[in-house]
Chain A
Amino acid sequence: MTDQAQAAPKEPSIVARLRERFPDAVEEVTNFRSQLAIRIRNEDIFAVCLYLRDEPEWRFDMLSDLCGVDMVKLREIPRFDVVYQLYSVQHNRRLRLKTAVDEWGTVASVTPLWPGGNWQEREAYDMFGIAFVGHPDMRRILLPDDWHEFPLRKEIAQEGDRLEADRWLAKQGIPIRLTE
């Protein structure tokens, strides 16, 4: 996808403005099927979201969707991505932000900015074990509170024993840890 981003004739103005305002924050810009996705450095995600929400030029006032992604099969480290789908009701515009999180790492919660992110962040924690710092109620949401694993991690097999997944992980040299 990086190749496509480089092949794009010119960067959209929102990326230029972000680079200008947060010089080190923008790590990667992709444009696939005319959907813009900007990868933001983990430390800057809250500041960038605050800027995008409040700046009259952008006004991304709605957090449409938030989800985690286990990137273990696609890259070495960091382990996870958190993906934000922002929407501006005023300008009728969508934008996708991504940020990388280490295994057992943390990322700033955006619930203080958009209350609608509350349960979606809890779901990302429930499924992947990504901890959101600043979240008012960081608990599991769909699974029981005492559940012992994070089911959407790639090492958790869908059913049966875990042999195949374990063998695959051993081949990749990834240690198997099921609980915190």
Chain B
Amino acid sequence: MANTLVPSGGTAIEITDEQQVDDIHRVITLNMGPQHPSTHGVFRVVLDLEGEIILDARPVMGYLHRGVEKLFENHRYPQLIPWTDRTDYAAAPSNNLAICMTIEQICGIDVPERAEYFRVILAELSRISSHLLWVGTHALDMGALSMVLYAFREREMILDLFDSFCGARLTTNIMEIGGFTRDIPDGWIEKCREFVAIFPSRQQEYVDLLSANPIWLNRTKGIGVITAEEAIAYSLTGPMIRGSGVAFDIRKAKPYLVYDRLDWEVPIGENGDTYDRYLVRMEEMRQSLSMIEQCLDQMPPEGPFLARESNYVQPPHLASQYNAEDMQRHFVWTIKGPRPPKGEVYCATEGPKGEIGFYLISDGSAVPYRLHYRAPSFVNLQILPKLARGAMLADVVALIGTIDIVLGDVDR
């Protein structure tokens, strides 16, 4: 019993004599973060250590809290979209899609088919870009310095695509309620096809670098194991739950946009460890690429890109630049903003990190009465203390990396 330690609220951990510092055990409290390169932002974990073994981990967050839910309550509906860029800033188009779909759902707007296809393309591009950022920084955390350079090379191609469509790389504000106000620029589709053609060979380079690398395997296999039951109980979503073998993907469970017309599969892991989640995310990139290709083929070349003008959908931009009446109409619509009917919806979409949920209560005015943002990073991060207990100190960076957090999303 002398060599057994029971941390608060955890399971007993066996320690051997070699790991004991003195005759009596010594627990070191170590602050990791907030300024630490491997916490992917300003995130702090207070660790109780016995030698190198973690007895308890207490995450401390909120350093990046900007109160977006309060801001949501003070902005008209079209003004909410740029705010969602700044939550999960690694995959802004996915968040834009989630908020636009929520507002469209409460207003009952149908989006034109062409815009739906283009939304899928943008959402999947942002998924690939988010996963590239993840694979680069995750490998960087574990000492594979070169990986991030390759991953950012391809991520730059995606950001260039966003840039040439909407004029911004990260804070995209890429969609509007009802579809898109800008049309696809000339040459965009060709550039996107070029990316689709190049990317598989580039992804093979990552696989060559990592998948059989003994250091990578030792650092990821068997680390941070989550069973399927735990994953469900901890409300994990996205690659976190799929890595544990649960085939839960909102794009399959309740298909939105045109996901039901595409041919794709949900990759799942077997062991629920860090390595399986790596495999799941790598395979998701391949599936996303195939979806983009199918969308490019199926998307009608011509057709409406924005829903019909109504109380909820803004007048076309182009006319307002040539015509005084149209400009007034546009001005009045922008100042007054849409007023959705009274009611409430919860709209869940599958973001790169998991379920992006918006719970919107409308009281019939131009601003939301309450808009709650269910951040996937925040909910997924809850399992960190459980994974860290009993792990080695060096594994903390692997565990934070495998959860794939963005602190803008955790703190909001």
Contacts and interface: CB of A to CB of B under 8 A. Distances in A.
Interface of A: 1, 32-33, 35, 37, 61-65, 67, 69-70, 73-74, 83, 85, 89, 92, 94, 96, 114-120, 123, 127, 136, 141-144, 151-152, 156, 158
28 contacts: A1-B342, A1-B344, A33-B106, A35-B344, A35-B345, A35-B346, A37-B344, A62-B232, A64-B374, A65-B346, A65-B357, A65-B359, A65-B379, A67-B372, A73-B369, A83-B372, A92-B253, A114-B233, A115-B233, A115-B382, A119-B379, A127-B69, A141-B62, A142-B61, A142-B412, A143-B65, A151-B67, A156-B70
Contact of A33 (B62, B236, B248, B343): B343
B235 A158 contact: no
A158 B74 contact: yes
Contacts of A94: 346, 348
B236 A92 contact: no
Contacts of B232: 61-62, 89
A116 B382 contact: yes
Contacts of A120: 379
Contact of B370 (A69, A117, A151): A69
A96 B361 CA distance: 13
B71 interface: yes
B70 A85 contact: no
A116 B386 CA distance: 12
B374 A65 contact: yes
B177 to A, nearest CB: 16
Nearest to B358: A65
Contacts of B359: 65, 67, 83, 85
B370 to A, nearest CB: 5
A32 B379 contact: no
Given A74-B369, A127-B69, A158-B74, A69 B62 contact: no
With most chain A CB atoms within 10 A of its CB, the pick from B61, B73, B344, B374 is: B344
A119 B62 CA distance: 12
A141 B61 contact: yes
Contacts of A136: 9
B345 A32 contact: yes
A69 B69 CA distance: 11
B378 A158 contact: no
A67 to B, nearest CB: 4
Contacts of B69: 127, 152
Given A85-B357, A89-B232, A96-B346, 15 more contacts: A32-B345, A35-B345, A61-B232, A62-B233, A64-B357, A83-B372, A85-B359, A92-B253, A115-B233, A116-B382, A119-B378, A127-B69, A142-B412, A143-B62, A143-B65
B411 A115 contact: no
Nearest to A61: B232
B357 to A, nearest CB: 5
B346 A142 contact: no
A123 B158 CA distance: 34
Contacts of B108: 33
Interface string B395-412: 000000000000000011
A136 B254 CA distance: 34
B235 A63 contact: yes
B370 A61 contact: no
A73 B343 contact: no
A167 to B, nearest CB: 17
A144 B355 contact: no
Interface in B223-247: 232-236, 246
Interface string B48-85: 00000000000001100101011101100000000000
B105 interface: yes
A92 B74 CA distance: 35
Contacts of B378: 119, 123
A94 to B, nearest CB: 7
Contacts of A63: 235
B248 A89 contact: yes
Contacts of B363: 73-74
Interface in B288-322: none
B40 to A, nearest CB: 17
B198 to A, nearest CB: 37
Contacts of A37: 344
Contacts of A69: 361, 370, 372
Nearest to B344: A32
A73 to B, nearest CB: 7
B106 A118 contact: no
Contacts of B379: 65, 116, 119-120
B106 to A, nearest CB: 7
A33 B348 CA distance: 14
B259 to A, nearest CB: 15
